[in-house]
Amino acid sequence: MKKCKNPYCECEQTFPDTVQLCPFCGSALSPEGEDESPQLHTAEELPTMPASAAAQPFVTAGAFGRKVLRGRLVEMDHNSLFHSSFHKWCNAVFAGEPWQLAHQSQAYTLRIEEITQDGIPGRVTDVCAFGEYLGRLSIGDELEIHCKGGKDRRIAKKLLDKTTGSVVRPGLQVPALFVRVFSLILALLAIYFVSAAVNFVASGAILSWALGVIVALLGLLWKLLSAFGGNILILIGIGIVIRACLPRKR
């Protein structure tokens, strides 16, 4: 049996011969009956723990210039905003936000924390998610988010929940790319029609076209007067006689 001989240790119990160090102070145990001085271990002699390392890279490059974030959801902030159609169009074209078909625009701020092997919290970043995610995410879920934008503002484009093994979809909404392409097509059509109208006026064709229309209307009027001129004069005379016979109102 062995016992701790450290005078500063209050351990009085004995240990089997297989135990080498005192579990209370770290001193070397000595057999009972020996008076040798205990061997103390300094901090430099203690084993050092390996540095923490991320289980997976926190940020990696994805397809189409996107970034892929892998981490744990620690906070989720939800906002419901009322936007006009023009405001939605501006957000889609200039900010890259999807066009939500509901009256309210749902916006979530997801705070993602880096996952490390030793469990010590690592880096933290925020991601904006637009759409309806209520009841589909829980604090502590391990997420993989495909997003675009810089570190100042990231917008989630695809969200995978590694904890539940599912793809979290935001609901029915129009992607910002479709809104931008549609707006570009409308702008090109507007420019084409405006330039065609300017060229049509500048070429003088509109003047000849207007003169042709006036001549055609005058010719039609002349034909109508030639065909029904007598009948029209008779109707005018009958009207004058009827007004002359009726008493005047005072």
3-state secondary structure the chain: CEEECCCCCCCCCEECCCCCECCCCCCEEEECCCCCCCCCCCHHHCCCCCCCCECCCCEEECHHHCEEEEEEEEEEEEEEEECCHHHHHHHHHHHCCCEECCCEEEEEEEEEECCECCCCCCCEEEEEEECCCCCCCCCCCEEEEEEECCCCCCEEEEEEECCCCEEECCCCEECHHHHHHHHHHHHHHHHHHHHHHHHHHHCCHHHHHHHHHHHHHHHHHHHHHHHHHHHHHHHHHHHHHHHHHCCCCC
Mean confidence (pLDDT) of the chain: 81
pLDDT of residue 180: 93
pLDDT of residue 178: 93
pLDDT of residue 192: 93
pLDDT of residue 50: 52
Q: Which residues of the chain have pLDDT under 50?
A: 51-54
Residue type, 240: I
Going from the C-alpha of 246 to that of each of 218, 233, 238, 240, the distances in angstroms are 37, 20, 13, 10
d(CA 164, CA 142): 9
pLDDT of residue 188: 95
